[in-house]
Structure 1
Amino acid sequence: MTTARDLLFVAMDMPSTRSLERGDLSLALAGAELIDLLGLGVATLDGEFVLPTGGQETADPQLGLAAAALAPVADGETVEDWLWRRGRGLPDTYLAAFEADGLLGREQRRRFLVLRTSRMVLADSPGRRRAAHRWAADEPVLLALASAIGISGPPPVPEPPPGPVATVIGAVGHAVDELAAERRRRERRLDDARQTYVRRGF
């Protein structure tokens, strides 16, 4: 199992302090992947730049895709650039992998006696229990990533040790803040447009 998988288990299992935005989760999953790649020696940081090392292959298919996605250029790319690029559509990729592995199932529900609906729910699995154990153990990396997207464990959230991991977690927090600011700007523009329409009598 990987940190990204554990984070998705936590995101689906634990209550959040705010509405969990898909974009925020995308950035956090990409950060979790990068932390694991750094731990495996597949990537390294030179300041704020991510560099591939050509290190060992990974056993997890999703992490293997992340390793293959490392920018194959001499100067690498910044951690935040990695988060934005790699994070695009990442929750859907992991959810599809969960479903293929039997970690997600459909819970059938009946509404109004005749309409049958279903929703995706997590199956009980060793991976889910492992993520819950990491969460209950206040594992710093998992708690810090979850906290960045509004999922809070018991306070205070332990600080990861200084170094590359802390750099990635800081970049995730900054990128999430940027995304929230962009949402606020879009909402203000929509509000301004609505007020303009009202003033014009539409």
Structure 2
Amino acid sequence: MTTPQDLILVSLDVPGDHPVERGDLSLALAGAELVDLLGARALTLDGERIVPGPALATGDRMLDEAQAALVRTEPYESVEDWLWRRGQGLATAYRDVLDAEGQLSGKRRLWPHRADKAAADTPARRHAADRWWSREPVLTGLAAALGIQGKRRPAEEEPGDEAVVTVLAAVDDAVTELTAVRERRRIENAAFDNIWRGPA
């Protein structure tokens, strides 16, 4: 299983501070793909720029798609730009893949704005749970950006790889930015509704 697959299964299983928004999850999944591609040496980071390496077969269709989507011309793409571009609809794409692979059960649960399936009791789910409960730094760091509960990680448990830390920080910033945009829209819509309602 990949980090994105583990993350989406954890997002279905572990309660958070609030329901996980699909847009937030999509950003985190794009970050998770970068982490796995870094681990496979399919790319490196030059500061915050993603420098693609030679094309490699990862054995996972979604990671291969992510690798194929890397910008291969200088000045290359920033991690932030990658998150926003690659993240478009990514949560739904991963959910569909997991569903097709039998990783989701027929039990219905509420995903924000739609009904969705729960994680099925499979080896993949148990692998994700083991990684979560062992407090693996990358998975818990990505989950923390989504407000998924868990103890804060002691400093010594932070990922040791500077490139991974850069990706996790970018995911956190992007999710914070998206949350702010949603809140701004909510306030603007409420103000608009008040104008149309007029004085009581």
The TM-score normalised by the length of structure 2 is 0.90
Q: 1:98-177 to 2 correspondence within 5 Å? A: 98-107=98-107, 120-156=117-153, 158-177=157-176
Greater Cα radius of gyration, structure 1 or 2: 1
SS in structure 2 of the partner of residue 70 of structure 1? coil
Give the deviation of 1:151 after TM superposition: 0.4
- 8 Å Cα contact 1:43-1:55 kept in structure 2: no
Give the deviation of 1:119 after TM superposition: 5.4
SS in structure 2 of the partner of residue 71 of structure 1? coil
Whole-Å separation in 2 of the counterparts to 1:121 and 1:191: 33
Segments ≥4 residues shifted beyond 3 Å: 155-158
Q: 1:175-194 to 2 correspondence within 5 Å? A: 175-194=174-193
SS in structure 2 of the partner of residue 44 of structure 1? strand
Between the aligned residues of both structures, percent identity stands at 46
* Aligned-pair Cα RMSD in Å: 1.9
SS in structure 2 of the partner of residue 4 of structure 1? helix
Report the number of matched residues. Answer: 193
- 8 Å Cα contact 2:55-2:67 kept in structure 1: no
- 8 Å Cα contact 1:29-1:91 kept in structure 2: yes
Match of 2:80 in 1: 80
CA-to-aligned-CA distance 1:26-65 (integer Å, 9 cap, x gap): 0000000000001111111111111111142211111111
Match of 1:5 in 2: 5
The TM-score normalised by the length of structure 1 is 0.90
Give the deviation of 1:10 after TM superposition: 0.4
